[in-house]
């Protein structure tokens, strides 16, 4: 979705900016925003670099050899890259069979579930809290019945060790595989347009959707237009999608509100229903 020209904006139209890495924002979310006479603009903060395909060979061998277990997908990006690599190795059908027959597949939230369903994967569980904290709460409730159960997590190399440490402490055997990494996005015309909107005090709300998006947003801003940094704090509403994202915003002394439901739906409710 492209940024629109500031000349095309209606005088009373609210402008909401959202940070993202690769991939697209849910059309349902965009439609709901626009129903409120608001315009959503998307700022790409990072780009994805896939790991070598041999990493999926390691995951595939483990999946094939385990009799049962869990596999956790923490983002739609992780799902898409997982299956891109599987396609390259020509093992998609085998992986789909193993995941659906031997594993309980856990998706962190609805958008991740949608990506998995697109690839014919039956999602068994989604935590009520769509965050790493929700994943931990979910597994803590079953630890007495699944001692030493094995968990596979395909994820970003930039991820911290918080989730793995917490799950291991509960007694699970955790296998993390770093199937991609993220790096700062290039400065492009969309960023230039965003800078202009920010300078003219046209941004009503700014949404951060992950810890890495927070870090890369400020890195790009500092490197290319550091004079705008004070203006970020003047944005009427800055929203965090969840606790780990909030933790990063605190480091930058940015005032924010956190969505109660850690999802785009929770962000929408915070924007328009004040939940």
Full pLDDT tens readout for the chain, 275 residues: 344 444 444 556 889 999 987 666 777 888 888 888 888 888 999 888 888 888 888 999 999 999 999 999 998 889 999 999 899 889 999 999 999 999 999 999 888 898 999 999 999 999 988 888 889 999 988 755 555 689 999 998 877 788 999 999 998 999 999 999 888 888 888 899 999 999 999 999 999 988 888 999 999 999 998 899 999 999 999 999 888 889 999 999 989 999 888 788 889 899 887 64
pTM of the prediction? 0.74
pLDDT of residue 4: 41
Q: Report the alpha-carbon angle 52-157-266, nearest 5.
A: 125
Secondary structure string (H, E, C) spanning 31-94: HHHHCCCEEEEEEECEEEEECCCHHHHHHHHHHHHCCCEEEEECCHHHHHHHHHHHHHHCCHHH
214-245 core/surface letters (b: 16 or more CB in 10 A; e: else): bbbbbebbeeebeeeeebbeebebbbbbbebb
Rg (CA), the chain: 20
Angle subtended by helix axes 211-225 and 243-251, to nearest 10 = 30
- Residue 71 CA to residue 135 CA, distance in Å, equals 12
Domain boundaries, the chain: 6-45+186-272, 49-182
Structure tokens at 245: 């994202």
Do the domains 6-45+186-272 and 49-182 sit in the same CATH topology, yes or no?
yes
Question: Can you name the CATH fold of 6-45+186-272?
Answer: Rossmann fold (3.40.50)
CATH 3.50.50.60 given to domain 49-182:
no
């Amino acid at each position: 979705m492209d940024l629109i020209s500031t000349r095309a904006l209606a005088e009373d139209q609210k402008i909401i900016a959202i940070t993202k890495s690769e991939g697209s924002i849910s059309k349902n979310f965009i439609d709901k925003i626009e129903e409120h006479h608001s315009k959503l603009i998307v700022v790409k903060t990072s780009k994805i670099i896939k790991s070598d395909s041999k990493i999926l060979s390691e995951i595939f061998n483990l999946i094939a050899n385990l009799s049962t277990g869990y596999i956790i997908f923490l983002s739609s990006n992780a799902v898409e890259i997982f299956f891109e690599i599987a396609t390259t190795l020509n093992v998609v059908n085998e992986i789909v069979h193993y995941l659906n027959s031997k594993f309980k597949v856990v998706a962190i939230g609805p958008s991740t579930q949608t990506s998995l369903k697109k690839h014919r994967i039956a999602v068994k569980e989604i935590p009520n809290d769509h965050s790493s904290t929700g994943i931990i709460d979910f597994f803590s409730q079953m630890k007495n019945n699944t001692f030493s159960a094995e968990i596979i997590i395909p994820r970003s190399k930039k991820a911290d060790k918080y989730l793995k440490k917490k799950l291991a402490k509960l007694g699970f055997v955790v296998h993390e595989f770093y199937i991609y990494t993220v790096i700062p996005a290039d400065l492009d015309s969309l960023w230039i347009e965003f800078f202009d909107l920010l300078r003219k005090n046209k941004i009503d709300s700014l949404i951060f959707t992950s810890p890495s998006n927070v870090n890369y947003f400020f890195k790009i801003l500092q490197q290319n237009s550091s004079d705008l940094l004070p203006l970020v704090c003047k944005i009427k509403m800055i929203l965090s999608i969840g606790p780990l994202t909030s933790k990063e915003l605190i480091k930058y002394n940015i005032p924010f509100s956190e969505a109660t439901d850690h999802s785009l739906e929770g962000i929408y409710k915070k924007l328009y229903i004040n939940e």
